[in-house]
């Protein structure tokens, strides 16, 4: 059960991780689901950005979009026989919307990942996989802890129950948006014990069974922890 968590959007810097994801998916079949926030009319224009890196490596791949719509637009339709999917991709965008749309599918996604379906999360798709998810906010108790652009519509730090595929929480765009400080604030505010802050153009690959990790791409991952005395530790894991 492998998770490929990317700190930004599609780029050549993370090509090796996409190679690994495609290789893992190919071993299971050719049906690859891609979840995008919005209806088909709203989000279809973004599908190719996430599908092309897969189909260029695996022309036989059958891309099955999952349109993550609001409740008033009708129920979200998943591919038939999801247990037979070869891979699951969750795209980037508005993190709170992705988490809200996929929360009702938490058990399904967890079951798929436990069964060995590789999970590829781009930006928002990476941020929602932890037991607790940092989904927005740029202030903590009135103090700036991130650029306002990282707030995703919220001012105060917003921490919610995540998909619980792994224990640690995830930050993305870490170097581009200076988010190690927000990771520290999240550890003060929330119940999580560890935050992995992934740089832009960088991926964190996690073997969820063994807990082994590796970093691929242009940057590094900052593992931020807090002890019982509210002392922080930051360990940088460079690309392997």
Instruction: Give the 3-state secondary structure of 38-76.
Output: CCHHHHHHHHHHHHHHHHCCCCCCEEEEEEECCHHHCCC
DSSP 8-state assignment for residue 175 = H
DSSP 8-state assignment for residue 181 = H
Could you tell me the domains of the chain? 2-238 (3.40.50.880)
Per residue in 148-201, pLDDT (tens digit) is 999 999 999 999 999 999 999 999 999 999 999 999 999 999 899 999 999 999
Instruction: Give the other-Cβ count within 10 Å of 214's Cβ.
Output: 15
Could you give the percent of the chain with pLDDT greater than 70? 98
In angstroms, the CA 7 to CA 220 distance is 10
* Residue among 103, 104, 108, 51 at smallest CA distance from 85: 108
C-beta separation of 89 from 109 below 8 A: no
Confidence of residue 73 (pLDDT cuts 50, 70, 90): low
In angstroms, the CA 139 to CA 212 distance is 32
Instruction: Give the other-Cβ count within 10 Å of 153's Cβ.
Output: 12
* Residue among 89, 158, 156 at smallest CA distance from 129: 89
Task: Write out the H or E segment, with its range, that includes residue 22.
Answer: helix 15-26
Q: What is the 3-state secondary structure (H, E, C) of 96-152?
A: HHHHHHHHCCHHHHHHHHHCCCCEEEECHHHHCCECEEEEECCEECCEECCCHHHHC
Per residue in 78-106, pLDDT (tens digit) is 999 999 999 999 999 999 999 999 999 99
Q: Assess whether pLDDT exceeds 80 at residue 64.
A: yes
Radius of gyration, alpha carbons of the chain: 17
In angstroms, the CA 92 to CA 71 distance is 20
Confidence of residue 211 (pLDDT cuts 50, 70, 90): confident
Please indicate, yes or no, whether the overall pTM of this predicted structure exceeds 0.75. yes
How far is residue 154 CA from its own chain's centroid?
19
List the structure tokens of 233: 């530790």
**2-6 vs 202-207, strand pairing mode:** antiparallel
Confidence of residue 237 (pLDDT cuts 50, 70, 90): very high
């Amino acid at each position: 059960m492998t998770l490929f968590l990317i700190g930004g959007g599609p780029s050549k810097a993370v090509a090796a991780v996409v190679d690994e994801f495609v290789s893992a998916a190919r071993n299971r079949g050719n049906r690859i689901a891609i979840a995008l926030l919005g209806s088909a009319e709203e989000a279809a224009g973004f599908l190719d950005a996430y599908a092309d890196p897969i189909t260029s490596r695996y022309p036989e791949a059958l891309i099955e979009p999952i349109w993550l719509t609001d409740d008033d637009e009708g129920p979200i339709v998943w591919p038939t026989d999801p247990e037979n999917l070869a891979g699951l991709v969750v795209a980037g965008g508005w993190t709170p919307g992705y988490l809200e749309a996929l929360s009702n599918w938490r058990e399904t996604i967890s079951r798929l990942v436990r069964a060995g379906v590789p999970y590829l999360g781009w930006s928002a798709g990476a941020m929602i996989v932890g037991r607790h998810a940092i989904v927005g906010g740029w202030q903590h108790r009135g103090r700036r802890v991130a650029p306002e652009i990282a707030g995703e519509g919220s001012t105060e730090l917003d921490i919610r129950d995540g998909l619980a595929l792994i224990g640690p929480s995830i930050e993305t765009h870490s170097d581009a948006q200076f988010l190690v400080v927000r990771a520290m604030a999240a550890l003060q505010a929330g119940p999580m014990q560890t935050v992995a802050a992934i740089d832009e153009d960088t991926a964190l690959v996690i073997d969820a069974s063994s807990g082994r990790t590796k970093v691929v791409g242009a940057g590094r991952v900052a593992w931020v922890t807090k002890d019982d005395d509210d002392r922080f530790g930051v360990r940088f894991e460079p690309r392997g």
